[in-house]
């Protein structure tokens, strides 16, 4: 998909076995509205001349605040009944980055990642230490009740006390849903940025860190190439270094964003056994939303164009 508008934003709400039969019309409408809301909040920043970095943070905050998605408020339960969240953000102009892994009680993990980007010498902070840093920055904490939802609790109860984990929705069926949210944007100054956030996998234990908070894996941004946010089988995405694989292929082979995303998601990720997708934007405003699973919650807006949303393959 090619476009040379002055600014662009793309968001995703996770990929996986998302089929029409799994969604009621009402629920589908809710998902689409949440995606539109996220694009709108980011787009407003961009149309006012704001930075891609601010736009992707705001869009992801919007998705984190929505209980439908597995990130922020809607995060799934870990094995101990807590909510351990991961997030990352990267600026394509400066290559500054911030990431947080396995943090609890933070209302908006992506904003904590942004605070790390802006105010820490480090890129990646984890666990209680990350929470201490958040408190030192006076960030908003929330109680367990804020993160509670009956749907997530029931999902957890089905596997709690066992060694099983579950990816996200639909643990009854043999379906996979990679609950992650993300945004990529190009601003009017030609800078790109990417942000990614997740609540991980239901009933996870052992302090598992997935791909979302890893720079180069679940998230990457560089004006020279593109900004990418991934969603998928975290372990396979780590082994494929997926976000940077897309950027590196563009840089080293001088190919288009579209070619790089198609090749990585439909060939290279599949070759190592991974399922999922990625959204991406380059410095010319070209966008890509590729996935090798049945569906991916996604939406975008280029300049003053219409907001387009998609869930299923077509």
User: Where on the chain is the footprint of a copy of itself (CB under 8 A)?
Assistant: 90, 95-97, 101-102, 120-130, 132-133, 165, 205-210, 214-217, 220, 234-235, 238-241, 244-245, 248-249, 252-253, 272
Q: Would residue 198 show up in a list of annotated catalytic residues for this protein?
A: no
- Least separation, in Å, of the C-beta of 208 and a copy of itself? 5
Number of Cβ within 10 Å of residue 22's Cβ equals: 17
Q: How far is the CB of 81 from a copy of itself (least distance, A)?
A: 14
How distant is the alpha carbon of residue 215 from its chain centre? 12
* Whether 10 contacts 46, CB under 8 Å: no
Q: Which residues contact 65 (CB under 8 A, 6 or more apart)?
A: 72, 73, 107, 108
Q: Return the structure tokens found at 58.
A: 């705001």
Compare residues 14 and 234 and give the one whose CB is closer to a copy of itself: 234
Nearer to a copy of itself, 140 or 224 (CB): 224
Residue tagged active-site, from 17, 180, 196, 202: 180
Would you state the torsion angle of the CA atoms of residues 197, 199, 204, 210, taken in this order, to the nearest 10 degrees? 0
State the nearest-atom distance from the C-beta of 34 to a copy of itself, in Å.
29
Question: What Cα–Cα distance (Å) separates residue 275 from each residue in 45, 122, 187, 203, 237?
Answer: 32, 31, 30, 20, 9
Contacts with 60 (C-beta within 8 Å, 6 or more apart), sequence order: 11, 38, 71, 87, 89, 108, 110, 181, 182, 183, 195, 196, 197
Residue 206 C-beta: closest distance to a copy of itself, Å: 4
Catalytic residues: 180
């Amino acid at each position: 998909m090619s476009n040379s508008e002055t600014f662009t934003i793309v968001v995703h709400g996770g990929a996986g076995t998302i089929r029409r039969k799994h969604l009621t019309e009402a629920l589908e409408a809710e998902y689409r509205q949440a995606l539109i809301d996220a694009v709108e909040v980011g787009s407003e920043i961009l149309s006012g001349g704001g930075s891609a970095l601010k736009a992707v943070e705001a869009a992801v905050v919007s998705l984190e605040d929505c209980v439908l998605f597995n990130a922020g408020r809607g995060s799934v339960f870990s094995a101990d009944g807590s909510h351990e969240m991961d997030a990352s953000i990267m600026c394509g102009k400066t290559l500054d980055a911030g990431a947080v892994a396995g943090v609890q009680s933070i209302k908006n993990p992506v904003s904590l990642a942004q605070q790390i980007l802006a105010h820490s010498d480090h890129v990646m902070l984890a666990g209680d230490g990350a929470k201490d840093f958040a408190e030192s920055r006076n960030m908003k904490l929330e109680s367990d009740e804020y993160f509670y939802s009956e749907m997530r609790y029931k999902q957890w109860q089905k596997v709690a006390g066992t060694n099983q984990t579950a990816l996200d929705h639909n643990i009854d069926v043999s379906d996979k849903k990679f609950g992650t949210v993300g945004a990529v944007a190009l601003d009017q100054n030609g800078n790109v940025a990417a942000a990614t956030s997740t609540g991980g996998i239901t009933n996870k234990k052992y302090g598992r860190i997935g791909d979302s908070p890893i720079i180069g894996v679940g998230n990457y941004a560089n004006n020279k190439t593109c900004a990418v946010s991934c969603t998928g089988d975290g372990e396979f995405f780590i082994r494929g270094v997926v976000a940077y694989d897309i950027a590196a292929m563009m840089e080293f082979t001088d190919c288009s964003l579209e070619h790089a995303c198609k090749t990585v998601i439909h060939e290279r990720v599949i070759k190592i056994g991974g399922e999922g997708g990625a959204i991406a934007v380059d410095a010319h405003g070209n966008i890509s939303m590729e996935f090798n699973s049945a569906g991916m919650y996604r939406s975008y807006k280029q300049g003053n164009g219409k907001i387009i949303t998609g869930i299923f393959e077509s």
